[in-house]
Structure 1
């Protein structure tokens, strides 16, 4: 899943939500010096990624993509599912999307000294594009895909990814409708087991 989903699935605890955002920017063992909730958030992020990558519906969805997009199907699905989540955000959160997004950006600002340089740069990128709220717009998804593609070292088709997503839009919507409620349940159970509210 992508950034909006990770932030939402981390729950309301600010430390856990910060850890959810850190998950893509830290590697290896979780630093024991981190606040407990931040470490839990990183661990939850990793658990969500594993759950998603191995879920039968996602495995089947990746197979729908034609070459050369199939190699990048995980990225395309993650970002498109954040779009679907943003469009339907009030189903999953009592906090409106724009307020949730603003609060997340404020959290990253407030805790900026704790962030690795890559996440500090990414926070500026989020601010400049009103993300994650702007994930609700299709045109932003095309821009985000092009940005991701430009940061990869090998040549890739991500800048044209909306062409393939549009071809598969109905099938991906069906997968999302089945998968995302199950992912929400998984994250809630994980937080309960680890004592995170």
Structure 2
């Protein structure tokens, strides 16, 4: 009879959460396998055996991040009854998440791997793909508002508005990383929403 392998002695969900904390604090390139092994309380060999490579682990971490810290802004887009309310709530939920006292003050999608070594190009493209999905999610909510009659914007204008508010989301993360507090981010959100009527005015798009 073949010898059975040693039983797993760690909780995968807890280990993944610990890996998320390390990647979030140090970024992708700033995190070594040794850092991960120490934080997760398991050997590097066990990381490879259960989670795969460092990149594989990072992709799993980002899935967890999306389901936790990344979920409130998306939920705001889904659940708010008006399009304007959805965009406003998305921005406020973003600001809430990136200024929580128990977590680093930035969004992992934006700043976990902005530049770096050539061999990590696939990680940057992976994150860029998620950011593109963020843009698509915002645009889809605008399109839903247009279909419902809640938003009177030509289809050609939806891309620009979605890109504008996606850029605001990303800029909030940079501001938070550089020290802006929740009240200061709220001031940015107020400015962004002050532009809503102009951005969603059908005559202005027609003139453009």
Q: Greater CA radius of gyration, 1 or 2?
A: 2
TM-score range normalised by the length of the shorter chain: 0.3 to 0.5
TM-score (norm 2): 0.33
TM-score (norm 1): 0.34
Larger RCO, structure (CA 8 Å, separation 6 or more): 1
